Amino acid sequence: MVQLSNALQRLLALVLAIHVVLLVPAAPAQASLFHVEGPIPTDLGVQAKGLAPCQFPAHCALERWPVGDATGALAGLLPAVLALDGVELVETKERYLHATVTSRLFGFVDDLELFADQTHGLIQARSQSRLGDSDLGVNARRLERLHQALLANAVP
């Protein structure tokens, strides 16, 4: 039997742990290595003109997508939202959806909001990190993925 030094044993354990965290499919939210939630933003929900503006664009993304039937488009986006890794629905109404999205590795929590602005024929989409100075583009990519789903599925 081969004897390994303590340093080599620790290195192999670290490599195995990284392999497990990065390659094994994770269950939503609960499977992250850490869970760094942060406080729930106070500006969630529909304001006077729709979703709140992004106060800190480095970790927030806001888009408006023109659609014919905003309520129908929001309903059509639900499967794409549910397909996001680490998503958990918090609130769903006919014209509003709020979900949290927890990152797989560190458990950072982002808030995702969609609003069916029927008056202006828009889907307003907002994704914001609860903590940090930068999201490295994660929120913008999440909204782009949802926008592509909206376009690909010809959601009204």
Model confidence pLDDT, tens digit, residues 74-85? 999 999 999 999
d(CA 37, CA 2): 44
pLDDT band at residue 156 using 50, 70 and 90 as cut-offs: very low
pLDDT digits (tens, 9 = 90+) for 92-115: 999 999 999 998 878 899 999 999
Separation in Å, CA 30 to CA 33, 36, 90, 128: 9, 11, 15, 20
Instruction: In the chain, count H helices and then E strands.
Output: 3, 7
Q: Is the pLDDT of residue 15 over 60?
A: no
Domains in the chain (CATH in brackets) are 27-152 (3.30.310.50)
Per cent of the chain over pLDDT 70 is 76
pLDDT digits (tens, 9 = 90+) for 103-154: 887 889 999 999 999 999 999 999 999 988 888 899 999 999 999 999 987 5
Q: How many CB atoms are located within 10 Å of the residue 24 CB?
A: 8
Task: Report yes or no: 127 and 108 within 8 Å, Cβ to Cβ.
Answer: no
- At residue 34, the pLDDT reads 63
